[in-house]
Copies of this chain bind each other. A is one copy, B any other.
Amino acid sequence: MKMNEGVEWAMHSCVNLSWLPGEAVTAKRLAAFYDLPTAYLNKQLQALTRAGILSSTSGPKGGFQLARDPRNITLLDILTAIDGADDAFRCTQILKAGPGADPKADYREVCLVSQAMRAAELNYRRELAGQTIADIVTRVEAQSPAAPENTRTWFANLKS
């Protein structure tokens, strides 16, 4: 049960972008911040854009920025944009291969193992849906008040 690494990159990139409002930041600069492979991070940023979390502009002076208020971007939004909406527990409906199976039944609904696992996972997603980028940012600033300014100057001083 492993999650795409890009989820973590995406969350941190969103936090950083929240400290650079209205400014288009290129994928190269975002990647440089954590020393990530540019082209690959770019793919994750594209996914965030398709999901309406970021907005992008081409050309010189182009780049990515948050498409909406950080209070309106949940951790679940980012997770599903990068990692998809599929459940970790895959009900392969093996009961259909078993004896006494009813081919017409949807065992995802009927089977109680499936129900238990899906309920737990639904809860997990609900919890992530209750956490926004703004919440994270607020807590980061409470913990290290210099973080926003440090990030801004770091991006300002980055050349090339």
The interface of chain A, by Cβ under 8 A from chain B, is 1-5, 7-9, 11-12, 15, 33-36, 75, 83-84, 86, 88-92, 94-95, 97-100, 110, 112-113, 116-117, 119-121, 123-124, 127-128, 131, 135-136, 139-140, 143, 150, 154
Contacts and interface: CB of A to CB of B under 8 A. Distances in A.
18 contacts: A1-B2, A1-B84, A1-B88, A3-B88, A5-B90, A5-B92, A7-B89, A8-B90, A9-B94, A12-B95, A12-B113, A34-B95, A34-B98, A112-B136, A112-B140, A117-B128, A120-B127, A121-B124
A128 B122 CA distance: 12
Contacts of A135: 116
Copies assembled: 2
A33 to B, nearest CB: 6
Contact of A1 (B4, B8, B100, B110): B4
B2 A113 contact: no
Most buried by B among A33, A94, A113: A113
B131 A75 contact: no
Contacts of A120: 75, 124, 127-128, 131
